[in-house]
Structure 1
Amino acid sequence: MLLAALLCYTGFTALCLSMNRHYGELLSGPLTARRSRMLKWAGWLLLTFSPFVAVDDAGWGVGLAQWCAVLMGSAVLLVFLMPFRPRWVLMLACVSLVLCPFAAMDQFPV
């Protein structure tokens, strides 16, 4: 379930960064249309992939329920961090990107 949580948080962060206002708060430089499109695609791709990871981990019944909880939890975390600790949003997204391959190796052993 850790991999699904990391994918959800990273996906929501990418969608957040695809907006001019949040991009300006968190990163420097202009948000181009191409970059916005790429961030939207990455965010939706990560969010689309996360329920499959959750279902593979715990089955259809429990996996979907856990995925809904992880989805809401990651959204709430992002919403509460944005106004109070905006730099933590990027830090947690970077940490989750680093941890994703390790969580994938744990969930899908070779």
Structure 2
Amino acid sequence: MLLALLLCYAGFTALCLSMPRHHDELLGHKPSASRRQALKIGGWLLLCLSLWAAVTVNGWSFGLVDWFAVLMLSALTLVLLMPYRPRLALALAGLSLLASPVAAWAQC
């Protein structure tokens, strides 16, 4: 469950950074077209990996329920952090990417 949460948050942050407004706000410049495309593909890939992580642990019946809960929690966290602490939202995404291999190892 922790791995799915970490991957969901990183995926939503990548999708957020694929938008020029948020990219400019967080990183100080507009993204190029290739960077926007890479962030979109990476974000969707991370969300798909989080689905795989949730289903692997609990099967399809409870895994989907857990995945939707994790989706809502990570999206809510990102939405609440963006207006007030945007740098913290970006730092948490980096931390979640760094911690996800450890969570994957602990899940096995």
- Structure 2 length as normaliser, TM-score? 0.96
- Aligned pair 1:38/2:38, yes or no? yes
Whole-Å Cα distance in 2 between the matches of residues 30 and 56 of structure 1? 38
SS in 1 for 2:31: coil
| Deviation (angstroms), 1:50 | 1.1
Letter in 2 for 1:24: D
* Alpha-carbon distance in 1 for matches of 2:60, 2:31: 39
1:98 and 1:48 map into 2 onto residues whose CA distance is 18
Aligned equivalents of 1:101, 1:28: Cα separation in 2:
29
Could you say which residue in structure 2 is the equivalent of 1:22?
A: 22
Per-residue CA distance 1:1-32 (angstroms, 9 max, x = gap)? 10000000000000000000000110023310
Structure 1 letter corresponding to 2:83: P
Amino acid corresponding to residue 81 of structure 2 in structure 1: L
Q: Which amino acid aligns with 2:71?
A: L
- Equivalent residue, structure 2, for 1:77: 77
Aligned length: 108
Q: Secondary structure at the match of 1:59?
A: helix
Match of 2:55 in 1: 55
Q: Runs of at least 4 residues of structure 1 off by over 6 A? A: none
**TM-score, normalisation: structure 1:** 0.94
Partners of 2:35 and 2:59 in 1: how far apart?
Answer: 36
User: Unmatched 5+ residue regions in structure 1?
Assistant: none
Looking at structure 2, the residues matched to 30 and 59 of structure 1 have their Cα atoms a distance apart, in angstroms, of 41
Percent of matched pairs sharing the same residue? 57
> Which residue matches 2:97?
97
Gapped regions of structure 2 (runs ≥ 5): none
Q: Please tell me whether residue 5 in structure 1 is matched to residue 16 in structure 2.
A: no
